[in-house]
Amino acid sequence: MASFTSGNKILVGLRPARRLQPSGWRSRVLPANSAASVPEDAGPVISVSLERVLFLLRWLVTGIALVIQLYAASGSGDFNYISRALQFTALAATYNGLFFSFRYNFTRRQARIWLAVADAAAITVLIGLGGGIYSPYIFLLYLIIVEASLLFSPGGVLTYTAVVAMFYATLSLVLPGQQWNELNITIVLSVVLGMFIWASICGAINRAFEQERTLVRREKDLAAELNRQVVALSALNRLSERLTATLDLEELMQSTVKALPEALAVDACVAFFASREASNDWRVGPVWCGIDEDFEPDQTITEAPAPGKLRAGPLILDRADLETLLDAGAILRFAPGSQAGAAGGAYGLLVPLNLSDGHGGALAVLRQDGPVFNDSDKEILAALARQLSLLANNARLYEQERRNVARLQELEEMKSDFLSTVSHELRTPLTSIKASIILMQTQPDTPPSTAQRLLRNMDRNTERLSSLVNDLLDMTKLQNGRLKLALQPVQLADIAADVIATMRPLTDSKHQILELQVEPNLPAVFADRRRVEQVLNNLLSNAYRYTPKSGVIRLSIARSGSQVVASICDNGPGIPAAEQELIFERFYSGHTGKGGTGLGLAIARSLVELHNGLLWVESQPGEGSTFRFSLPLASSVVAHPKLNQPLSKN
Q: What is the pLDDT of residues 79-138, one digit of tens each?
A: 666 676 677 777 777 777 777 777 767 767 777 778 878 878 887 877 777 677 777 778
* The pLDDT of residue 628: 95
**Residue 15 — pLDDT band, cuts 50, 70, 90?**
low
**Residue 247 — pLDDT band, cuts 50, 70, 90?**
confident
The rounded distance, in Å, linking the Cα atoms of 236 and 244 is: 12
Task: Give strand pairing partners of 516.
Answer: 555
Mean pLDDT for the chain overall: 75
Q: Which amino acid is at 599?
A: L
* The pLDDT of residue 457: 77
For residue range 187-234, list pLDDT tens digits in order. Answer: 888 888 888 888 888 878 777 877 887 888 888 878 877 777 777 677
Percent helix, strand and coil across the chain, each to the nearest 5: 60, 15, 25
**Residue 295 — pLDDT band, cuts 50, 70, 90?**
low
Q: Shortest CA distance to 547 belongs to which of 518, 569, 566?
A: 569
Whether 108 contacts 121, CB under 8 Å: no
* The pLDDT of residue 209: 76
What value does the mean pLDDT take over residues 141-168?
81
SS (H, E, C) 586-610: CCCCCCCCCCCCCCHHHHHHHHHHH
**Residue 19 — pLDDT band, cuts 50, 70, 90?**
very low
What value does the mean pLDDT take over residues 522-534?
92
Task: List, in order, residues 6 or more apart from 584 with CB less than 8 Å away.
Answer: 601, 602, 605, 615
> Percent of the chain, pLDDT > 70?
74
The C-alpha angle with vertex 408 and arms to 402 and 409, in degrees rounded to 5, equals 90
Name the architecture of domain 488-643: 2-Layer Sandwich (3.30)
- Describe the crossing of helices 154-174 and 139-151 by its angle, rounded to 10 degrees: 160
What value does the mean pLDDT take over residues 1-16?
47
**Residue 30 — pLDDT band, cuts 50, 70, 90?**
very low
The rounded distance, in Å, linking the Cα atoms of 544 and 513 is: 10
The rounded distance, in Å, linking the Cα atoms of 349 and 158 is: 46
Order of strands, edge to edge, in the sheet holding 11-12?
Answer: 11-12, 315-318, 309-312
The rounded distance, in Å, linking the Cα atoms of 316 and 260 is: 20
Task: List, in order, residues 6 or more apart from 614 with CB less than 8 Å away.
Answer: 608, 629, 630
Using a 10 angstrom Cβ sphere, with 0-12 exposed, 13-18 middle and 19 or more buried, the burial of residue 260 is buried
Buried b (16+ CB within 10 A) or exposed e, 507-538: beeeebebeeebeeeeebbbbbbebbbbbbbb
Count CB neighbours of 342 within 10 A: 13
* The pLDDT of residue 441: 79
What value does the mean pLDDT take over residues 608-615?
92
Q: Is the pLDDT of residue 322 over 90?
A: no
The rounded distance, in Å, linking the Cα atoms of 634 and 644 is: 9
**Residue 638 — pLDDT band, cuts 50, 70, 90?**
low
* The pLDDT of residue 376: 79
The rounded distance, in Å, linking the Cα atoms of 16 and 341 is: 9
pTM beyond cutoff 0.75: no
Q: Is 297 helix (H, G, I), strand (E, B) or coil?
A: strand
End-to-end CA distance of the chain: 44
What backbone phi and psi angles, to 5 degrees, belong to 588? -80, 125
The rounded distance, in Å, linking the Cα atoms of 513 and 190 is: 129
For residue range 354-404, list pLDDT tens digits in order. Answer: 877 767 888 888 877 667 777 878 888 888 888 888 888 888 888 888 888
The C-alpha angle with vertex 290 and arms to 286 and 296, in degrees rounded to 5, equals 110
The rounded distance, in Å, linking the Cα atoms of 143 and 146 is: 5
Whether 439 contacts 455, CB under 8 Å: no
What one-character DSSP code corresponds to residue 645? S
Q: Shortest CA distance to 102 belongs to which of 57, 38, 23, 43?
A: 43
Q: Is 360 helix (H, G, I), strand (E, B) or coil?
A: strand
Count CB neighbours of 588 within 10 A: 19
The rounded distance, in Å, linking the Cα atoms of 648 and 610 is: 7
Sequence-ordered alpha helix ranges (H) in 77-153: 79-105, 109-129, 139-151
* The pLDDT of residue 129: 73
Q: Is the pLDDT of residue 515 over 50?
A: yes
CATH entry 2.120.10.30 includes domain 4-15+246-400: no
**Which ranges in the chain are annotated with CATH 3.30.565.10?**
488-643
